[in-house]
Amino acid sequence: MHWINQISRTKILLILLAVVISSAFLVSSQTLVRDLSEQERTNMSIWAEAMRTLNHADENTDLSLVLKVINSNSSIPVIVLDAYGNVQTSRNLSLKSNSAQDSITEIKLQAEKMKQNGHMIRIDLDVTKTETHDNFIEICYDDSILLKRLAAYPYVQLAVVCVFFLVVLMALLSSKKAEQNKVWVGLSKETAHQLGTPISSLMAWVQILKENYPQDDLIPEMDKDVKRLEMIAERFSKVGSVPELKEEDLTRIVRSVEEYMSVRISSKIVLHTEMPSGPCPVCLCAPLFEWVVENLCKNAVDAIDREGEIRIQITDAEATYYIDVSDTGKGIPKKDFKAVFRPGFTTKKRGWGLGLSLAKRIVEEYHKGKIYVRKSELGQGTTFRIELKKY
């Protein structure tokens, strides 16, 4: 478990490092945007002074520099209003209206919005006239399109990086999962191969014992266990391969599990089955699916401390068969409902934590069904549900 904790700490550190780098990038970008915004405000102050000079010009004033400053503004949206709010002139605006009257209204609305944002410079036209307060103009301006794009660019860039990161992460997880699948498949097939030779020898020895001791009652039981080993080896050999699905009776498979488990569990644990009276035909691989139900029953036995009850129930719905395996054991915390199907997850002192992971793969990938924890309460018990579609 130490290496798992080490990996978790590494992930947290990497996430924190990514957050710090992103924050630093955003802060530096916003600082640059703020500096450019101040520069545009300075440029507008110069532009406003040029407008003041233009309004105070006489026949002796050289307007070449003034006009050059005024005409140099080709990017900053600006609106000039008189003291009564009438539009005197405007530059670099993007208008949606076509008619002149609508355009004036739209320009006034934009000017009001610029004022609310604090982008307004007031110029007194005649400072000598103290008796009136209406001899001024208001220059309203907005950030240039370039500045707005620059302000949004860091967020767009971060979004692109996040999407790229997610794509890479999904590819890595997919690759890791495929590699894990190859390991489990290889392990399963090698186990089946290694079991094949001793099982064949045991079958031969059982046959010899039958011929020499035909009246012995223990030999048929030995034969059943050897055949059981043969079925287990067959199950392992099918992992990783696309199994052949045949029409099987679901009730027959559950009865087979019931017969096998009932003589191998404690007498203090009661095993019940509730099934429809008629057959429940469904396409499946009998050896693999029987192992899934058997595995759920074994987990239920492990969850029961001393005495309790295990119930297997088949419900025949309109288009689906529901198989519920319930126990009166210790229960599962709600936070672990999905984690129990993760390879390596186990709460038992023994075991590899692969049973439910393989069961999920068999049900969902091979039989296109669903398996999940339907309900569970600590100290009350757990119910696993399998859903299988009909034809």
The answer on pLDDT for 101 being more than 80 is no
Instruction: List, in sequence order, every residue forming a beta bridge with 308; answer none if it has no partner.
Output: 269
Q: How many CB atoms lie within 10 A of CB 141?
A: 25
The model's pLDDT over 230-278, given as tens digits with 9 standing for 90+, comes to 877 877 776 666 778 899 999 999 999 998 888 888 889 999 999 998 8
Helices 145-212 + 218-238 axis angle, to 10: 150
Q: What does each C-alpha distance from 46 to 43, 69, 136, 349 come to in angstroms? A: 5, 8, 17, 79
Residue found under tokens 């023994």: 350
pLDDT at 36: 84
The model's pLDDT over 13-35, given as tens digits with 9 standing for 90+, comes to 777 887 788 788 778 888 888 88
Q: What does each C-alpha distance from 81 to 40, 110, 113, 319 come to in angstroms? A: 20, 12, 13, 73
Using DSSP's 3-state secondary structure scheme, residue 126 falls into coil
| Cα 59 from chain centre | 73
- What is the pTM assigned to this prediction? 0.53
pLDDT at 126: 63
Q: Among 95-109, 119-133, 362-376, name the one with the lowest average pLDDT.
A: 119-133
Cα–Cα distance, 224 to 171 (Å, whole number): 46
Per-residue buried b or exposed e for 206-245, using 16+ beta carbons within 10 Å of the residue's own CB: beeeeeeeeeeeebeeebeebeeebebbebbbbbbeebeb
pLDDT at 350: 60
In the chain, where are the structural domains located? 2-143, 170-240, 242-389
- Name the CATH superfamily for 242-389: Histidine kinase-like ATPase, C-terminal domain (3.30.565.10)
Specify whether the CB–CB gap between 301 and 265 falls below 8 A: yes
The string of DSSP codes covering 25-42 is HHHHHHHHHHHHHHHHHH
